[in-house]
Chains A and B, each alone.
Chain A
Amino acid sequence: MTLEEICRQLHLEVRAAPGKLGAEVTGGYASDLLSCVMAKAQAGFVWVTLQSHPNIVAVASLANLAGIIITEGMNPDPATIEKAEEQGIPILTTPLTTFTVVGRLFELGVPGVDDVSA
C-alpha cells in the first residue's frame, strides 16, 4: 500500500513533500519517544506521533521512514515543514487520535513491527 492510498483512506492532509507519496509503506510504528522510533521503526514504515517539532524529520530521514502522520490536530512548526520538504519526508496531519489512526492503518493491512520479519 502506498502512502497516497493511506492519505486517501484516512483523509490525511498532506503538509510536506507531496511528491514522495508514491512510496510503498512496509509497516507502521507509533510512539512519541524519538529513540524508540530509531530503535524499532524499520525502513519504509510510516510513523504515527503527536510530536511536531523539526527533529522528527531528522529521525524519519535517518531511519529511512516512508513518512510521518501527526495526530490530534497538532500543527507542525514551519521549520518542520521546511526541513521535511528539503529532505523529502512526507508530513501528513489529521485531527484523529493516534489510537484511531493506528487502528485504521491496521484495518488497511499495514503491519506493525511485531508482525514484520526483519
Chain B
Amino acid sequence: MPQITRLHELVYELKIAEVMTHDVITVSPQTSMAELRKILQEHRISGTPVVESGELAGIISIEDLIKALAAGEMGVTVGERMTRDPVVLCADDRVVLAVDHFTRYGFGRFPIVDEDGKLVGILTQGDVTRGLLKKLEFEYHEDEVRRYRASHIFEDVVSDRTSIFLHYDVVARDFDHAGEASSKIKRALNHLGVSSQIVRRAAIAAYEAEMNIVIHTNEGGAMAVEVRPERIVLRAVDTGPGILDIERAMEPGFSTAPEWVREMGFGAGMGLSNIKVCTDEMRLQSPLGAHTLLEAVIYLDQERSRGESRGV
C-alpha cells in the first residue's frame, strides 16, 4: 500500500487561494508585443493574463512572444496573438486540482478566478511548491512550539506541587497490542522534554511491567505514570492472581510463564530485575490470590539518579 505522506494530505487540504500569487501583472489586448517583452523582462515572468475592462479576456505567454519575434511581428497587439477563453481554476478549488491541471494541460500557469469569474490571482507550479513548503515549515514550527510548551509545563504552571498523570489500560493475553502503552508513555515523556537516557529507562521499566500484566494476569490491569518536576513514578496494578514468592520472582531468570509464552521470547524471568536495574526505587506488593501493585521511581535530577553510572 503506498504511503500517504503529509504532502499528499496537504494537496487535498490547501485551497488554491492559499498558495497563488495575488498581485497579478496583467496586460490589455491593446498592449503591443514590444511592450509585452518589456513587461515580462521587468517582472521576470513567462506569461500573463490579458484583461479587458475588468474581465479576463485571454492569456499570453513568452512562447507567443518568441513566435512573434521570429516572424518579425513585434508591432502586433497582444489581443491578436493571445489564447482566448483560457483554462482557469477557482480560488476555492483544492491544490490537488491544480496539480492535476498542470499534468493534464502542460501549461506553465493558470489564471485564478473567484465565483463571479473575476481574476483574483495566478498560479504557477512554483507557487504550488512554495505554498506547500511554507505550510510544512509552519506546521513544523507549530510542532516545535507545542513541544517547547510541553517541556516547560512545570515552569509555566504554578502550584505547590504539579503532577501529570497518564493512565493506560492493559489487556491480558493480548500480544498483538502488548507494548503499546509503553510506546505511548515513551512518546509522552519525550514530549515533556525528559532526557533521552531517562526516557529509555522509563520505557524499559514500563514495557516489562506491561508485559507482566499481559502474560500473568487473569483480567488485565492498568498502568499509571505520574510525572513530577523531580521524578517519574510508574505504577502498575492488576487484580490477580498475585505472586507466590516475591523474593524468588525478583531473581533474574526465575519465571512462571507458560511454555507457549516463552516460545515467543517472553517470560525470560528478567522482567522484575530489569525494572529494578532501570529505576531508582522499586516496591512490589502482592498478597497471593489478590492484586499486584508495582511502584517504580526514576529521579529526574541527575545527581540523585543512579541510572547513568550503571550504563543502562
Q: Footprint of B on A, CB under 8 Å?
A: 32-36, 38-39, 43, 49, 51, 53-56, 58-59, 61-64, 79, 85, 87, 118
Contact = CB atoms under 8 A, between A and B. Distances in A.
Given A49-B265, A61-B183, A35 B200 contact: no
A35 B264 contact: no
A36 B268 contact: yes
Contacts of A33: 265, 268, 270
A62 B270 contact: no
Residue among A34, A49, A54, A85 with the highest chain B CB neighbour number at 10 A = A34
Given A59-B207, A62-B183, A39 B277 contact: yes
A51 B264 contact: yes
Nearest to B203: A62
B180 interface: yes
A37 to B, nearest CB: 8
22 contacts: A32-B265, A33-B265, A33-B268, A34-B268, A35-B266, A35-B270, A35-B271, A36-B268, A38-B204, A38-B207, A38-B274, A39-B274, A55-B179, A55-B265, A58-B183, A61-B186, A62-B182, A62-B203, A62-B204, A63-B203, A63-B204, A87-B183
Interface residues of B, number: 26
Chain A interface SS verdict (over half): helix
Interface of B: 3, 175-176, 178-180, 182-183, 186, 196, 200, 203-204, 207-208, 211, 264-266, 268-271, 274, 277, 311
B186 A62 contact: yes
A58 B200 CA distance: 13
B176 A54 contact: yes
Contacts of A36: 268, 270
A55 B208 contact: no
